[in-house]
Amino acid sequence: MTPPPTRDAYRDLLVKLMADDSRLYCLDSDTGLFAGVDFASAADRYINVGIAEHNLMGVAAGLAASGKIPFVNTMATFATTRALEALKVDIAYSGLPVRVVATHSGLSAGHLGPTHHALEDLAIVRALPGFTVVTPADATATEEAITQSVDLPGPVYLRLGRKATPALEAGPIELGRVQHLREGTGVAIFACGPHPVLACLRAADLLAADGIEAAVVNVHTLKPLDEHAIVTAARAAGVAITVEEHWRCGGLGGAIAETLSEHAPTRVARIGMPDTFAKVVGGQEHLLDHYGITGERIAATALTLIGGTRNDPGLP
C-alpha cells in the first residue's frame, strides 16, 4: 500500500497533536493543505493569513515569543526566498520555536515550473544560526521528525514534497543522527529526501552487481550535521558522493564537502541539480531523470571515483 504524501502525513499528525496540546498553532498561507480538515476544539488555533508570507512568518514569531508553538505552512521556495528576512531576523535571531513546514521542495512542483521549484532552500536555511533542518525520506520519517520537533527549543525547517513517495522500510530516525541504510566501504553515498535516497539504494544494488559494497547514509538532518558519522563513513570508503534534490551548490553536498575538507579530506562528487533552472517541462520524475539525479548516474559516478578516471562528465 502506498503511504500518503509526506505533507498529508504531516497534516494528519499535526491535527491530532493540536487536539491535546494547546500550545500548538497551525498557520496557513492559502496552501489548501487543510481544506476539509476538522480541527474541532483546536479550530481557533488554525489561522490562515492568506497569500502573505512575510506576515506569516512574523505572526509565527509573535506567537512563538508568546509561548506558543506554531507550525507554519507554505511552499519551500516561498518560505526561504520570499520570507527569508523574517526567518532570519524575527525567528532565527531570537531562536524562536517556529516549525516551518516547507512543502513542494526540490523539483516536486514538477510541471508548475521554476518559480515553484525549491532548489536553493537548504543552502539558505542552513546558513541561519540555530535552525534545525530536516528532510525526511518518507511519510513515517516525517511523523517521527514532527514528534521530535515539537519541543525543540529553537526553530525547525521541515522539507517536504508534494506527491506520495514509497516507504523506505527502514527503522526509526533520530534527529541529529544519520540513518545507515546500507553498510559498505567501497564508496560512501550520502543523500537526503525521498527520491535521492531511493536513487542511492538503486545505485547500491547496481554497484553490488559489480562487486562494490556502497554505504548508503540517509542524512535527514542537515543541521545539526552528524559530523562524526559522516567522517567515519568517508574515512572507511575513501571516496564520497552526495545526492540531493537541490542545486549542487550549498546544500547537502556543500555541507558534506565542508565537513570532510576540515576533518578528513576526501574526494566528494556532488550529484544534484546542475547550475541551471529547469529548462524542460515535466513532472518531478522526468526532471530528476533529465537532470541526472538517478541511480544509474550515481553508480557510474562511484565507478569513476573508485577507478580514479576523469571521464564522467559530472566531474570537472
Partner 1 sequence: MSTPSTSTTTGPATARGTGPVTDRIREHIVAMCAGPEGGHLGGSMSLVEILTTLYFQVLRVDPADPGAEDRDICILSKGHGAIALYAVLAERGFFPAEELATFGRPGSRLMGHPVTAVPGVEMATGSLGHGLPLANGFALADPARRCFVIVGDGELQEGSVWEAAMSTAGLGLDNVTVIVDRNGLQITGRTEDTVPLEPLADRWRAFGWAVREADGHDQAQLREALTTRVPGRPVVVIARTVKGNGLPAMQDRVESHYARLGERQFARAIAVLRARARRRCS
Instruction: List contacts with partner 1 (CB under 8 A).
Output: 47, 49-50, 52, 54-68, 70, 85-86, 89-90, 93-94
Shortest CB 101 distance to partner 1, Å? 17
Beta bridge partners of 190: 217, 242
**Strand, helix or coil at 120?**
coil
Residue placing its CB nearer to partner 1 in the complex, 131 or 190: 131
Q: In this structure, are residues 247 and 195 in contact, taking their beta carbons and an 8 Å threshold? A: no
Closest distance of CB 84 from partner 1, Å: 11
Contact present, 80 and 121 (Cβ < 8 Å): yes
For residue 95, the minimal CB distance to partner 1 (Å) is 10
Do residues 69 and 110 touch, judged by C-beta distance below 8 A? no
Please count the other Cβ atoms lying within 10 Å of the Cβ belonging to residue 262: 10
Smaller CB distance to partner 1: residue 19 or 89?
89
Strand partners, 106: 118
In the complex, what is the shortest distance from the CB of residue 23 to partner 1, in angstroms, rounded to a whole number? 10
Sign of the Cα torsion 180, 183, 184, 189 reads negative
Least distance between partner 1 and beta carbon 127 (Å): 17
The contacts of residue 180 (CB under 8 Å, 6+ apart) are 215, 216, 217, 218, 229
CB nearer partner 1, residue 55 or residue 185 = 55
Considering the complex, what minimum distance in angstroms separates the CB of residue 49 from partner 1?
Answer: 5
Nearest to partner 1 of 66, 311 (CB atom): 66
Q: Which is nearer to partner 1, 60 or 141 (CB)?
A: 60
Q: Which is nearer to partner 1, 127 or 164 (CB)?
A: 127
C-alpha cell at 163: 506527491
Report in angstroms how near the CB of residue 64 gets to partner 1 at its nearest: 8
What does the alpha-carbon distance between residue 249 and residue 309 come to, in Å, rounded to a whole number?
Answer: 23
- The string of DSSP codes covering 177-221 is S-EEEE--SSEEEEE-SHHHHHHHHHHHHHHHHTT--EEEEE--E
Helix (H, G, I), strand (E, B) or coil at 161: coil
Which one, 49 or 118, has the nearer CB to partner 1?
Answer: 49
Report CA torsion sign: 1, 73, 62, 221.
positive
